[in-house]
Every structure is written in structure tokens, then in C-alpha cells.
Structure 1
Amino acid sequence: MVTFAIGTDDFVVAGALPAISRDLAVSEGTTGQLVTVFSLAYAFSAPVMAVLTSRVPPRRLLGLGLTLFAALNFATALATSFEILLVLRIVTAVVAGTLSPAAFAIAGQRAEPGYAGRAIGVVAAGLTVSLAVGVPIGTWLSTRWGWHATFVAVGVFTVGALVTVAATLPRFEPVSEAGIGDRLRALRSPAILACAVTTTIGACAGLMPYIYVAPISEALTARPELLTVFIATIGVAGALGAAVGGHIADGWGPDRGMIATFGTALVVVLVWVGLHATVAPVPPVVIMGSLAVWGVAAWSNNAPMNARTLALAGPVGTEAMALNTSGLYVGMACGSAIGGLVLDRFGVTGTLLAAIGIGVCGVAAMVISVRRWPTGRPARGKAGKKARV
């Protein structure tokens, strides 16, 4: 539920982008920069907050953080200008940057040996279920009652997450006893930094099509009224991808799993370029099918990527996860910024080609990183044991 609330908040701007653009009288490219500032604020704050909150009991950290997160989303619903909205998104990102890495690290560290990928996949499923349920609801609300209603819904989802944490998460102390110096040194580890770099490049290319799914899907199908359906398709596929990704990470190993899933998603984007250049508008069912394949591949990348980071991090997993998710959000910010600039100047084809070019660089970076710092296939715990999340 924690990652469901955060995921809805992270990605809901993609569905509400046209409504925000119209209401606040700014271009869709400019509106997309809300994702840029959110991502940068998250990226810069996550490692710092991970160190500062490292001694706070996880149950208390999640409880206080979710309370503030809900309040900020309700406040966002009252924003009357783009500037106010921008500031609120920055503050909300700092809170999200505290909560999300902690949730992933708790799952991975409390899992049985050999099952960390699946445990992380369970947490990642919250993000993808948010795409299947939360973001479509937010998109529908924005088309029916305006984008303000979207952020009210996110606030309600967050209250639900808070109740769930209070009812189900046991009290326990932080796993690591490492001191502040050890935690800070972990952030300078070449292997961990390499994970963050590959995550950054991959997220820039991988999430660019999702951030601008509204104009991309309209250009491919000429059916803008189907945006909610397209986003729901990605969400359902992404939820499946999160589950598959956990099995891929534990079965194939994080290294091969990370490269294979990202490469598959990149191929689908190349197909979109060909369709847009030759036969668009395309029947919506064709685009729904391709979005489903892309969603499975893109969101199955999450578990191998994070399992690799945890495997290399040792006892400072939370800090490493925070740095890696910082890379994710820097990449999202770059994808949003580059995608928006290219979209306003060169249209949808330019945005898709930019994603492909950056994605090829991402694959190269992943291969280099895996060869230099391999993790191998994880050893299993006792037969029949399941991950304790």
C-alpha cells in the first residue's frame, strides 16, 4: 500500500497532464516539467533522508511519513497556480524520497536468502498496481471533475496506506548497525554508483514514453478519449511485470534479468516509431497489445535492478537503495525534460527516437557494469521457505 500511494502520486501527472495544461494555461511540455522537478527533488533528498532517518524504527518512519504525504496531496488539490503546484510537488517529493527506499529495503533485507527478488517484486507490485488502478482513477477524475480531484484521490489512497501500515507492519528496529561514516562511504562505492548510473540512464529512456503517453497514444491512434484505457493497460501489464521480474531476478540472476527486461522494452518503443512513421493511425487494439508488452518488460526491470543493488550493498542496503532510487528519479527528470523539449519542437517521433537513443546507451552501461561487478545467481534458502516481507 505504501508504494501504491507513492506510485499513484508519482505517475498521476501523466494522466492529468492535459487537464493541468488547460486549466493553468501552460503547454503540455511545460506541464511535464512537474515530473522533472518532482524527480530531481526526490533524487537529491533520498540519500540524505536515508542517512538522517537510519535510526528511526521503520514502523514509525512510515507512519509519520505517510501522514505528511497525505496532507501534502490534499494541499496540492487546492493549488491555484502553476508556481504553487510546482512548490508543493517538490516538498511532496522529499517525503516520497524518504518512504519508498525504506519500503524496498525492508522487503529485501527481511527476505529469506534467494528470495530477495520476489520480496522486492511484491513491493514493486504496489507501484504497478497504482498504474492499473490508482492512475486510471486519477486520470478519469481529472477528465470528469478536474485535476484537483486527482490529488484528493491520492490523499485518500495515502490514508488507506497509513491504516494498512498501522495494522500490519510489526515493530522492529533498523537492520543495520553501521555508523554514519560507513553509510556515507557506501554512497561512494564504485559498484553502487555504477548501479545508480545505469538506473539513471535506463529510467530516462524507459519512462520517457510513459510520461508522454497522452500525446504518444493520441498520435498513434487518433483516439485521445482512450487515454484512460491505455494507462490502465500499462498498469495491468506492469503489475504482471512486477511479479515476473521477481522470479526473473531470483531465477536468472539480477544481472541478466536487468539487461533482458530493459532490452525488450526498448524494442517495443522502436516498433512504435515504425508504426507512427508508416501506418498511423493504428487500430487501438494494436497499441493496447504493444503497451501491454512494453508494460510487462519495463516494470519487470524493477526487481532485478533493485536486487542487484542490494546484493552489492551488504549491510547498508537502505542507503544504497536510496541512491539507486535517486538515480531512477534523476532519470525520470531527464526523461521528462528531454521528452518535453523534443515533443514541443519535433513532435512524438522525436520523443520516441530520443528514448531509443538514450536507451541504447543504457544497455551499454548495464553490460559494462555487470561485467565489472557481477552478482551471479542468488543462492536459495531452505526449500519451501518463502520471503518474509
Structure 2
Amino acid sequence: MKNIQIKEPAAAEIPAPRGEGARAAWILAMGTFAVGTDAFIVSAFLPRMAEGLSVTEAMAGQSVSAFALAYALLAPVIATATSTVARRKLLVWSLALLGAFNLASALCTSLSALILTRIAAAAAAAAYTPNAGAVAAALAHPARRARALSVVIGGLTVATALGVPLGHVVSAVMDWRASLALVGIISLAAAAAVFAVMPAMPGGARIGLRQRLSVLKRPGVMRILPLTVLGMAACYAPYAFTIRILETLRIPAASLTVMLFVYGLGAFAGNYASGRATDRRGPVPVLVFAYGAMAIALGGLAGLAAAGEGSGFYFAAALIACWGASSWAQTPAQQHRLIAAAPQEAPLVIALNASGIYLGISAGTGIGSLAVGQGVPALLGTGSALALASLGYIAMTGAARRKAAASGAPEPG
């Protein structure tokens, strides 16, 4: 998620030394890598985890939904509660707790205990990511601020391309518990690095939760945010069950990690290309193209799964890469639209969009948990249908906006 520039508004305005900006950005990226890996890694070993906990894959998928939903709901609450806490202290403690809760997840012997530790880990992640972006912006020279943010948030994208495949390798060589323990170790190492490198920085002014959420009253914001939830639900309905999908497509076991890496490369490329295309063509055409490509990719994979025959490695890889690219192409365009709708509250709407992303991941995983019982083709078909619904939402809201403009009425919110 290279372009998710989630910032704590007050922290971004704190005077701070400028000379440490570049080094600090890379250290902070280590933390976002840990957060991103933690958020998405379960898809790399869901079948093994379900077997280890003696539950179905659909039930084990609830741990993904729990993490994403907790992040979405707790992020604004935690930002409000911690707005005055010193930044280095907050960053170090959030990473330390993320590490501790992942180690606790690795020791769980029941699904209920695992879900509780995943919720706790999500709370720690929600405390870290927005403040990492804020601190990176505060430490960087103004002329290098965008690059510092891209480095920090780029850790999330690298997590998809490298962290998830690495988690699959570790779970195959050892077990799924070792993968979660690895995330815990990375988090603790990042906490130590942040403590060693980051300068002391004070907290910001207290901003109430009501003030943070007041931006939802702005015209257009509540028209745009539901698309974030719907679009992310579309691509993440099948994502937690990626290993089962690849096995149904008869991808050799030795190539599963390669396919996870292909998805991550597609995600990285889609995110980057979307940012450039949004600047040149505008956000709506980019979104239309992304959801159309997503519907085709997931629909094509559904067809291959239904055929029940080997699909050809390279053809399947192309569809997997398209799935990843279209999934992560949404965010830059949606951020662009939200900032245009509320330019004076850009940090707040971007943070709310991040909550919408995780809410969509939670909803999508829940929908996928229901659909997977009907088979992999139905699971992928559900994702494709949700992508088409996203296209329909764009058309519907666009028509309403044009009608309001023609009549001289206020834009629908």
C-alpha cells in the first residue's frame, strides 16, 4: 500500500530534527513490513492452521476477519486516546505489543484464544501505522517528505510480495506457529531499532473522536467511502483461501510460494501504476479499469477451477498477477477522490479510508468463509460478482452526481 499516507495530524506538525529523516524512514518501514505481514500472512497457511486447531478452513478464516475488523474499528479510537503520547514511546510500545501478541498467537491451542490474540495484535498495528507515517513526515525535509512516506508505507506492499511467501515457506518447513512467531520476532526487532534510532518527539494536541469523525459530514465523503469497503470485500473474499484456490487449480506444491510471490508483484505494480494513471487520467477511469480487470481475473480463475483440469502454470500466474494488481490499484484512486472531496481534512479522510480498507477485508473474508463451503468456483465467482457490484456502484453514484449537478441541488453525500 505504497500510497496509503495515514498521518496523525498533530504529530505531523511537531518540530523535529530533519537530519535523521532518511534513516528513520527505513527503520519505520521495518515496522510497517511487520504489520503488513501480520495482516496478510494467514492466507499462506490457512489449511495447516485449521488442521492444527481442529476446525474448518472457514472457521479459521474468522481470525482474518477479526484482525481486520478490529483494526478498522479501533484505529480512530486508539488515535484519539494516544494523541498526546510521545511519538517514540508510542511507536516502540505498539511494535513490542505487536510482537508479544504474535508470539501469543503462535502458542494458542484453540480458535477462540487465537482470535483474541489477533484482535490484540490488530490494536497494536492500528496504533503503529498511522503514527509511523506522521513521524516520517515530521522528520523528513519538506522536499523529501513524499519519498519518506512512500518508504514507510511501502513496507506494507513489500509484506505482500515477500512477507506472505516467506510465511508460506516457514509454515511448510516447520509449521504455521513458526510463521506467526517469525512475525513476532520481526516486530520486536523493529521495536528495538526504533528505540535506538528515533529521536524523542512529543505528542500532539488532543483531538476528540467526534472531531475526527465530523469529516464524514462533508459532501461526497460518504459517497466515496462505501466503494472502498465494497471493492476491498471483492478482492479479499477469496484471498484468505488462496492456498486452497491454488491447490484446486492443480498448481504443484513446490510452486505455491512462487504464485504467492506473483500475486505480491502484481500488487506492487498495480499500486504504482494506479498512482501514475490517476494523476494522468483521473481516479474514476482507473477504478473502472481496476474493477473490470478484477471481475475478469476472478471470473477466469473460477472457470479454471470449475473445469477441474490443469490450467497451465503461466495462464494461472497471469490471472493471479491481475488479481493482485487490480486489488491494490484501488487505493491511490480512492485517496485522490477523498482528498478532492475534503482537501482541508486530507489526513483524516485518508485515515478513514484505511479503516474502510480493513472493514472491507473483514467483510470480504466473512463472505468468503460462507462461499467456500460451496466450492472454490463459487468462492471466486463471489469475488467477481462483488467486483461487478463495485462497477455498478460507480455508475449509480456517478449518475446521481450528474443529476444533482444538472438540477443545481447539493451533491449527494
| TM-score class normalised by the smaller sequence | 0.7 to 0.9
Alignment counterpart, residue 384 of structure 2, candidates 356, 359, 377: 356
Where structure 2 has 5 or more consecutive residues not aligned to the other structure, the ranges are 1-29, 403-413
Code of the residue aligned with 2:384 in structure 1: it is I
Counterpart CA distance in 2 for 1:261 and 1:278 is 26
Name the CA distance, whole Å, in 2 between partners of 1:340 and 1:31. 9
Alignment of 1:39-58 (within 5 A): 39-56=68-85, 58=87
Tell me, yes or no, if the aligned pair for 1:176 and 1:316 is still in contact at 8 Å.
no
Displacement, 1:185? 1.1
Q: Percent same amino acid among aligned pairs?
A: 32
* Structure 1 contact 50–318 (Cα < 8 Å) conserved: no
For residue 37 of structure 1, report the CA deviation from its aligned partner.
Answer: 1.2
Pairing of 1:247-258 with structure 2 (within 5 A): 247-258=276-287
In the superposition, relative to structure 1, how do residues 248 and 103 fare at CA in structure 2: closer, same or farther (>3 Å)?
farther
The reply on whether 1:297 has 2:312 as its aligned counterpart is: no
Distance, in Å, in 2 between the alignment partners of 1:189 and 1:75 is: 42
The residue number in structure 2 matching 1:23 is 52
C-alpha displacement at 1:371, in angstroms?
A: 6.8
Q: Deviations over 1:184-236 (max 9, x none)?
A: 31244353333321111001101223221111111122534432221111112
Q: Contact (CA 8 Å) 1:142, 1:148: kept in 2 or not?
A: yes
The answer (yes or no) to whether the contact 2:239–2:365 under 8 Å persists in 1 is no
C-alpha distance in structure 2 between counterparts of 1:161 and 1:184, whole Å: 31
Q: Provide the C-alpha distance between the structure 2 equivalents of 1:94 and 1:326, rounded to a whole number of angstroms.
A: 12
Supply the distance in 1 between the matched residues of 2:326 and 2:256 (Cα, whole angstroms).
20
* Worse-superposed segment, 75-84 or 179-188: 179-188
Higher gyration radius (CA):
2
Task: Provide Cα deviations, 1:285-341, integer angstroms capped at 9, x if missing partner.
Answer: 221222122222322322222343344343444432332222212211121111111
Q: Deviations over 1:341-383 (max 9, x none)?
A: 1111x10111111111111111222344567779xxxxxxxxx
Amino acid at match of 1:250: D
Q: Distance in 1 between matches of 2:277 and 2:148?
A: 12
Task: Please give the alpha-carbon distance, in whole angstroms, between the structure 2 residues aligned to 1:373 and 1:170.
Answer: 48
Partner of 2:25: none
1:314 matches 2:331: no
1:259 corresponding residue in structure 2: 288
Per the normalisation by structure 1, the TM-score is: 0.84
Q: Superposition RMSD on alpha carbons, in Å?
A: 3.2
Alignment of 1:1-389 (within 5 A): 1-56=30-85, 58-103=87-132, 122-163=151-192, 165-166=194-195, 181-278=210-307, 280-344=309-373, 346-369=374-397
- The residue number in structure 1 matching 2:22 is none
Cα distance in structure 2, aligned partners of 1:271 and 1:139? 25
Q: How far apart, in 2, do the equivalents of 1:270 and 1:56 lie?
A: 48
Q: Which runs of 5+ in 1 are unaligned?
A: 375-389
How far apart are the structure 1 equivalents of 2:304 and 2:234?
Answer: 19
User: What TM-score do the two structures reach when normalised by structure 2?
Assistant: 0.79
- How much does 1:109 deviate? 9.6
